[in-house]
Structure formats: structure tokens, C-alpha cells
Chains A and B, each alone.
Chain A
Amino acid sequence: MNDTQQGAATAREATPMVSISRLNKWYGDFHVLRDIDLTVARGERIVICGPSGSGKSTLIRCINHLEAHQQGEIVVNGIPMTNDVKRIEQIRRNVGMVFQHFNLFPHLTVLENCCLSPIWVQKKPRREAEKSAMEYLERVRIANQAHKYPGQLSGGQQQRVAIARALCMHPEVMLFDEPTSALDPEMIKEVLDVMIELAHEGMTMLCVTHEMGFARTVADRVIFMDEGQIVESAAPETFFNEPRSSRTQEFLGQILGH
């Protein structure tokens, strides 16, 4: 490798995966996101928690423009977000997302769900897309269900398919929007296990969740949001053992107390 190449590679490594500055968003008069500043490094795993209505879902939905923001800047993988449709779609190709309610396409089989984007967006040949999709389905341990429809699977299986579907686009960063809160308790672990594996492979992750065990195990940083602001941001050790803000202490007391 010569110097210029090495320089370029280092520069790429140095650019943050996601950088958000002075982000503001309103729903009508309601100020949901207030002066958010957040930089996510490559390979960093961030867990976002906070009471409901604190804007945590809205924040990660802004990163792939499922929600439009009114003020501030978002740069994803070096691409600044604008309102231009082509630009938005370019960013979305780099960003995988997993939803609370899975949002699998019920009229397509598991395999077709996974191949949709590779075939139509990345223009891969069907055979190649299916081969790669089967590899991802194998990784989330659901390859034997590939030809079933989502309606025939359990919640935990559906969510694992949803993760595989997002991975099939080879995203640079994964967004998880409360991926386990719609699941029955006995299915939460199978989904978290897949997410933990993903974290160990070095995927950049932003995860809205109340699974504090997951946060302790894999997060590099835990962020606490309340009333549209980032109240506290710290490594899990510090976050759980010596939270600075009283609102964080109160929140942790509520969810860990019982």
C-alpha cells in the first residue's frame, strides 16, 4: 500500500459514521428534538434510552430521514443529509434499520423479503442475491424457514429475519428502534443474541432499547434522553454506577428498581 492510499484509508477511518450537530425538530408546535449533538465513530455501539416520548426513536429515524428535521446537520458516512430524494436514498443504502414491529412484507417469503433491496436497489442478479441472503439467514439461524411467509413465524423469528433483511444491503451502520419491546419475554434472548454477535463483528450500531443487560454487555456508550435532549452520555460502567444527572438516576431507579 502506498502513502496516498494509506492516507485515504486513514481519512475514511477518521470520518465519523454519523455526525449530528445542533439538530432540532418539531411536530407542529411540539419541540421533539432540541439541539442534539451526537457523533458516532466507526464501529461504535451506542444504546439510547429514556422515557417514552423523549424523542429517542425520532432521533434515530432522522438518521435515515424517515423523519425530516427542520434545523441542524446530519452527516452519514461522509454524506450530508439534504431534502434531495437521490441523496436520501444514497444515505439509506448505507443504513440498515430494524423496527419495533418488524415490518416484514407479509406478501413475500422470508427469502424474498431479504432479496428485495439487493435485487431492485443494488441491481444484483437474483441468484447472487439469494445466495447472499441465505448466508445472512444462516447467521441469524433461520435459514430453514426461508420459504415461509412472515405470518407463519413467531415474533422472535420475524425480528431475526428483519435483521437479516437489513444486513443484506451490507449497511455501514445499523439502527435498532426498540427491537425487542414487541416480543414475548421468551423470545427476547434469541434476538439479543443475534444483536450481540453483530456487535462483536464490529458493526456500528445505534440502538434504542430498554434492555440494560444488553447495554452493559455491548455498548461503548449509553445515552439518556429526556424531553428531546441528550441528558447524559457515558460509558456503561459510569452510566449505571455513577449517573450524574438526577433525571438519569430517577429513570434508572424506575427501570432497574423492581
Chain B
Amino acid sequence: MSAIARDTDESLIASRPPPTPQGGVMYWLRTRLFSGPVNSVVSIVTLLLIVRLVWPVIDWALIQADWVGSSRADCTSEGACWVFISTRWSQIVYGFYPLAERWRVDIVLGLFFALIAWLVIPRLPGKKSVALMGLVGLPIIAWVLLLGGMFGLPHVPTRAWGGLMLTLTIAAVGIVGSLPLGVVLALGRRSKMPLVRAVCVIFIEFWRGVPLITVLFMSSVMLPLFVPANVEFDKLLRALIGIMLFWSAYMAEVVRSGLQAIDKGQGEAGAALGLGYWLRMRLIILPQALKLVIPGIVNTFIALFKDTSLVLIIGLFDVLSIIQAGLTDSDWLGFAIEGYVFAALVFWVFCFGMSRYSQSLERRLHTGH
């Protein structure tokens, strides 16, 4: 007893600042790459290897490449022939959309990118109302402008759509349609009502169990067999519905994993406050669950975006298949690498953008718990 009392020091240890971290590029290099003879050798060999591998790619794609011209005769150097892309640029963006009507696509694309910019740039106000306007307004504007046949705009059949505008149309409809449908299915699968639950389970398991290619084939080949011959059912529309339903099943499972992670007490607290089921879901459960599964949702969006190119098997020309079609042009044989690299770059830019946006969204929604 007395020993303990004697050891007790009444004076508290004063707070001290942490040791200053040593910084600078040289310090970092010395400690991380060249901390000893063996490590130095490994570092140098690795750096040489990286240069050896990366340099030829840069040399081919940028330094030795041909950028301007109008035919393959302009591609004289050793490097990439980007003339192939630049001469086909308008087809890659617009597909077979009539030349005189392409301003309509420009307006829709312009609005689309403006909407995205507004949502992505943190400083701009009114995100919620802009998003809502975009979700309701843009599809209607896009529908009227792209399809035409009303307000004096000439009708442009969907078989003339193609390239980037088609890819973005499919991706946007798929993303905007599959998320809410997925949320409803996820809630349904957790419902206490056996019938609702059964319907949702069967729907999800059916669409998750068939390959997307099968869905697209069925939508384009089988569906017309069941629909009366005089009913014209647009091929693109059929594909869009198929893609939306297919991805909604995946989305449902992603959302459900988020719903399961929310503590039961959250719903109980909402119930105790007198909130009904839909208000509880909307105000308490879903905001938390969806925030939790942003990585999973965006993962699904990215997969969806890339899989839009599967529509080539039912004869729709997305950005990849229109480049591929260009490769078979007898004037441009032998430029497959440029074509595929460019197609990959287009997909990568959009997918990487989504990935970055999801990360910034996660940071912004973090509330310190």
C-alpha cells in the first residue's frame, strides 16, 4: 500500500510536440530506394526495366506518331497512325446519325456533360435540385431531340444511332434505370410479406443467372415471336430494357448488402419516432446503406458501362463496334492496334472518371462515425 503511494507522482507529464518528420525528395529516395547496396542495385535494375518497357509505348503512341492527315498515305512514320481515328472521329461519336441532324446530338451531349460537371464540381450549389432536374428533364429532352418525329424534327430511327452517343445512351439509361429498380428489389427481398419476397428473389435469381449475351439475344430474337407482328417494338428499346433488368438484379444484391450492414436499432429508432416504413427507408436506412455500398454500386456501374459494347451482337454499333467496323474498311486495313487502343482509352476515361467521383463522394458524405 505504502509502496504504491510513494511511487505515485502527482505532477502530470506536460504535452510535448511530436518529433519533426524528416522530409524532402532526397530523404525519401535515400530511405525508400537506396538504403543499402542491395536495395540500390534492385532499385536501379527495376527503374531500367520500367523505362525499357514503357519507353517504346510512349515512343509509338506519342513521339513517332502521325497526328494530321486525311488518308493512310499521311502515315509515314514508324509510330501510331492516329489519322485513322481523326478521319473517323465523327462516325465514332455520332454513328450513322444523319449529318444534317447532328446538332441535336451535340445539344444532348452538351447538356449531359454540363450536368455531370455540375454534379462533380463541389463548389457549385444546388446539387440535389440539379440532379433531380437532370434525372427527369434530360431523358425527356434526349428522347425528343435524338428520336425526333415531333415538334417538326425529322424522325431518326434508332438503327441510325451509333458510336459514343449510343454507348452513352445505353450506359445512362442502364445506370439511371437499374439503381432505383435495384433498390426496390433489395427492399422487396427483405420484405416480411412472403409474396413480395418470393417475386423479388425469383426476379433477381433469374436475371443474375443468365448471361447478358443471352438476354440481348432473347430481347432481339425471341421477344418479337411473342409480340403481335403489327406491333413495332424498337430493337434499341428492347436492348435497353434487357440491360436495365439484368443490371438491376446485380444492383439489388449490392444494395441488399448495404441494408444488412445497418444496425437494427436504426429502424427501431425510426419506428419509435412514428415514422412509417417508407419514410424510415427513405430518411434513415437507405441514405446510410447506399453510402456504405458506393464502392459496390460504382463497381456495377463500371461493369455496366463496359458491357454496353455487347450490343454489337444484336447489330447495334456502339463505340467499340464502330471502330471495329472501320478496321474492315479496305482503305484502312492494318490499323487494328490504333483502333483498339483508342477504344480502350475511351472506356478507360469514363470508367476512371466514375471511380474518382465515387471516391470524392465517399469523402464528402463522411460524417465521422
A107→B288 contact, CB < 8 A: yes
**CB closest chain-B residue, reference A67:** B268
Contact B367 A149 (CB under 8 A): yes
Instruction: Chain A residues near B263: list those with CB within 8 A.
Output: 101, 103
A residues contacting the other copy or chain, number (CB 8 A):
27
Q: Is the Cβ of A66 less than 8 Å from the Cβ of B273?
A: no
**Which of B270, B279, B369 sits near A149, CB closer than 8 Å?**
B369
Q: Are A103 and B265 touching (Cβ within 8 A)?
A: yes
Q: How far is the CA of A107 from the CA of B269 in the complex (A)?
A: 14
23 A-B residue contacts at CB 8 Å? A66-B271, A66-B272, A85-B276, A85-B277, A92-B272, A92-B273, A92-B274, A95-B272, A99-B268, A99-B269, A101-B265, A105-B270, A105-B284, A107-B291, A116-B283, A120-B279, A121-B273, A149-B368, A150-B369, A151-B367, A152-B368, A166-B272, A169-B273
Measured between beta carbons, the chain A residues less than 8 angstroms from B288 are: 105-107
Q: A105-B266, A107-B291 are in contact. Are A117 and B368 (CB under 8 A)?
A: no
Least CB distance from B192 to A in Å reads: 11
Docked complex Cα distance between A89 and B274 (Å): 5
Instruction: Answer yes or no: B275 CB below 8 A from chain A CBs.
Output: yes
Q: Does A179 contact B (CB under 8 A)?
A: no
Q: Does B287 contact A (CB under 8 A)?
A: yes
- The docked-state distance in angstroms from the alpha carbon of A104 to that of B369 is 11
Query: 9 tightest A-B contacts by CB?
Result: A151-B369, A103-B269, A117-B273, A103-B265, A97-B272, A151-B368, A149-B367, A106-B369, A93-B274
Of residues 280 through 337 on chain B, the ones whose CB sits less than 8 Å from some CB of chain A are 283-284, 287-288, 291
Q: Is the CB of A116 within 8 A of B275?
A: yes
How many residues on B have C-beta within 8 angstroms of the other chain's C-beta atoms?
23
Residues of B within 8 A of A166 (CB): 272-273
Q: Which residues of A sit under 8 angstroms from B269, Cβ to Cβ?
A: 97, 99, 103-105
In the complex, whether A156 has a CB less than 8 A from a CB of chain B is no
Given contacts A103-B265, A116-B283, contact A165 B273 (CB under 8 A): yes
In this assembly, does A204 line the interface, its C-beta being within 8 Å of a C-beta of chain B? no
Rounded to whole angstroms, the CA-CA distance of A179 and B279 in the bound complex is: 26
CA distance A32 to B288 in the complex (A): 33
Q: Does A55 contact B (CB under 8 A)?
A: no
**Interchain CA distance A169-B265 in the complex, whole Å:** 19
In the bound complex, CA of A165 to CA of B283 (Å): 15
- A120 and B265 contact, CB distance less than 8 A: no
Residue of B nearest to A91 (CB): B274
**A248 beta carbon closer than 8 Å to chain B:** no
Is B273's CB under 8 angstroms from A116's CB? yes
CB-based contact B274/A117 at 8 Å? yes
Provide the bound-state CA to CA distance between A93 and B270, in Å. Answer: 11
A60-94: which have CB < 8 Å to B? Answer: 64, 66, 85, 89, 92-93
- Distance in Å from the Cβ of B305 to the closest Cβ of chain A? 28
Please measure, in the bound complex, the distance between the C-alpha atom of A105 and the C-alpha atom of B263, giving whole angstroms. 10
Q: Beyond the given A89-B274, A99-B268, A151-B367, please list 16 additional residue pairs across the A-B interface where CB-CB is below 8 A.
A: A66-B271, A85-B276, A92-B272, A92-B273, A92-B274, A95-B272, A101-B263, A104-B269, A105-B284, A116-B284, A117-B274, A121-B275, A121-B279, A150-B369, A151-B368, A169-B273
Interface centre among A99, A116, A165 (most CB of B within 10 A): A116
How many Å lie between the Cα of A51 and that of B171 in the bound state? 58
Q: Is A96 an interface residue (CB 8 A)?
A: yes
Q: Are B367 and A89 in contact (CB under 8 A)?
A: no
- In the assembled complex, which residues on chain A have CB atoms less than 8 Å from the CB atom of B369? 106, 149-151
